[in-house]
A and B are shown apart, each in its own frame.
Chain A
Amino acid sequence: MKKTETGTRKIKSVSYAKWGYIFITPFFLTYFVFTLIPQFLTIYNSFFETYRDGLTQIGPNFVGLENYATLFAPDPSGTVLIFKYALNTLVMWFAGALPQFVIAMLLALFFTSYRLNIKGQSFFKTVIYMPNLIMAAAFSMLFFTLFSRVGPIQGLLESWGVLDHSFDFFAFRITVRGMVALMNFLMWFGNTTIVLMAGIMGIDQALFESATIDGANSVQVFFQVTMPLLMPIFVYCLITAMIGGIQMFDVPQVLTKGDGIPNGTTRTLVMYLNGYLRTKNYGMAGAISVIIFIITGVLGAIVYRMLSAQYKDSGRKHRERRGNVL
């Protein structure tokens, strides 16, 4: 990069370098105080025993990895809670993400197809993206009231004779998980559709044309041309969706009053963390935070690699397009 720069730029940049530092200082100062220090404090706490027993404050006492040992130890019934909650999170995420990606892919293909020439696209896009902006806590509260035993959905299904009055949507694992998955699906499929659409429209149109001229049908075009070229954006969407999934909190928390009913089967990892934060058991909360940090870190690293690869690409294109100014 340095080599391509002209001499004049170097002279100029040297004299203005201090402004670069000045302009980025607020960001880094804020990041340091409000994110970096808390991050280290969180990790630090995970090695200490700190909790409240009634009114007495226990600790902080250094206990090494004991919090982690507790975290992965089976409870009296033989379940390791963190695995159970991780599995809950995964199941609910997957149940929402599968239709999210299938539908989004289909819609993206419909909307970009010249042959189909779908009318009213901007209306449909506006509608399907809308749930993404709705407050998750409020959306979840709405589902609770609509699906509660005295709610209108129950009433409607009873009047149709589908359900009898003793039925309770909140008594079954499958219905509560289903509601969470449905909300997550509704909140995210529009977003994914728009991103995938942008990806498809970024593909060189000539490739589709030549494939069609060569006699490929639309299924072949999708698997041989569209999908391979869309792969980076698709994987990016998928991994960011996973990172979002690990953070799943607002919807199941409000829907189940934080209890993860029935029997903790809809409790997510972050709900577990939230429980310890509320009871001020900072040792255990720290250990859970570190586990979540590691999982997101691995997924984030993949996103980072993809973004920086793409970034170098676009940077190169950009320089080629504009030449070297300044």
Chain B
Amino acid sequence: MSKNISENTMGKIKLTILRVIVYAILIFLTFLCLFFFYLMIINATRSNAQLATGFSLLPKENFFVNLKNAWNDASINIPRGMLNSLIIALSAAILTTYFSALTAYGVHVYDFKGKRFVFTFIMAVMMIPAQVSALGFVQLMTKMNLLNSYIPLIIPSIAAPVVFFYMKQYMESVLPLDIIGAARVDGSSEFRTFNTIVLPIMKPALAVQMIFSFVSSWNNYFVPALLLDKAEMKTVPIMIAQLRSADYSKFDMGKVYMFILLAILPVLIVYIFLSKSIIKGVTAGSVKG
């Protein structure tokens, strides 16, 4: 009996120690994830002279001065860049979710010759990165006179194999086919059924994919940098990379931190409000069956 009790307490002590270690690891990782961004925000509130004095964990009062300087910078037109990025990312997000759902619906609901091939093909090309066709893409866009245009950064998002796959999986778990049959009986056309009955059912999946698509488009650097060289067409990541190529020793560093903050702010805001559904989306995208 007493042996049992001591074993029990031993177990409890062990568990407590283990818990302490686990929380310590978690707190360390939390610190690591937030530290650099914390420094960024703090430094965005400091003047160039204050920044030259080195490290500080406390904010200063220069936030709005830096914001004004960054916003009105002559060589890096960040408001224009944010507008360009916003237009591209929003349009891409809407197109990619709508057409991926449409394509998935086409494959999911209808039976047609070559359907298996269609599905296999999309799965097979899913993992091919954009970089390996970038050369041909740039060449083709040059020939089509689409350099310095939004179009090559928006229209291709209609064909997004990964989003298609997600939508297809989602339909399999939530979309009852008899609803479609019922809509047909009621005389609804196929497009109408999709737009007014299927899309509302798909809302959670659409929302999640819209967020992911917006974020990846907002952050996209490689291909846009090859297509856009006119100052007024540049997107945010191109401008950030441009900052790095500038002679930073002559720069107002407070302004530089502000640029970086502005570049990630929209995504950060989206994340603060929607982190729950974003994390759910990651989870749902990973496990099937």
- A: which residues have CB within 8 A of B? 9-10, 12-14, 16-24, 26-28, 30-31, 33-35, 37-42, 44-45, 103, 106-107, 110, 115-116, 118, 122, 124-131, 133-146, 148, 150, 152-153, 155-156, 158-159, 186, 189-191, 194-195, 197-199, 202, 233, 240, 243, 246-247, 249-250, 253-255, 257-258, 270, 273-274, 277-278, 282, 285-286, 289-290, 292-293, 296-297, 299-300, 303-304, 307-308, 310-311, 313-315, 317-318, 325-326
Contacts and interface: CB of A to CB of B under 8 A. Distances in A.
B267 to A, nearest CB: 5
Those 6 A-B pairs whose CB atoms lie nearest each other, nearest first: A23-B106, A155-B54, A41-B136, A314-B289, A20-B110, A38-B136
Given A38-B136, A186-B33, A300 B126 contact: yes
A127 B248 contact: no
Interface in B41-89: 43, 51-56
9 contacts: A37-B140, A135-B240, A135-B263, A142-B40, A190-B33, A290-B132, A299-B127, A308-B120, A313-B289
Contact of B286 (A12, A195, A257, A317): A195
Contacts of A292: 129, 131-132
A142 B260 contact: yes
Nearest to A154: B54
B13 interface: no
B145 interface: no
Nearest to A135: B219
B282 interface: yes
B263 A138 contact: yes
Nearest to B138: A277
B150 interface: no
A45 B221 contact: no
A141 B260 contact: yes
Given A141-B244, A257-B244, A326-B177, A199 B287 contact: yes
B147 interface: no
Contacts of B23: 118
B159 A28 contact: yes
Interface string B145-173: 00000001001101100001100010011
Contacts of B102: 23-24, 26-27
B276 interface: yes
A24 B26 CA distance: 46
A315 B99 CA distance: 23
Interface residues of B, number: 106
A277 B134 contact: yes
Interface stretch (B1-9, B14-22, B199-207): B14-22
Contacts, number: 336
B226 interface: yes
A141 B240 contact: yes
A127 B133 contact: no
A29 to B, nearest CB: 8
B230 interface: no
B135 A23 contact: no
Given A194-B283, A243-B129, 13 more contacts: A21-B112, A24-B102, A26-B99, A26-B159, A31-B125, A38-B139, A41-B140, A128-B30, A129-B282, A137-B263, A195-B287, A249-B131, A257-B244
B237 A137 contact: yes
Nearest to B143: A41
Contacts of B113: 17
| Most chain A beta carbons < 10 A, residue from B29, B112, B136 | B136
B177 A325 contact: yes
B131 A24 contact: no
Contacts of B25: 106-107, 110
Contacts of A250: 221-222, 237
A257 B263 CA distance: 18
A250 B51 CA distance: 26
A142 B136 contact: no
A186 B124 CA distance: 29
A308 B102 CA distance: 21
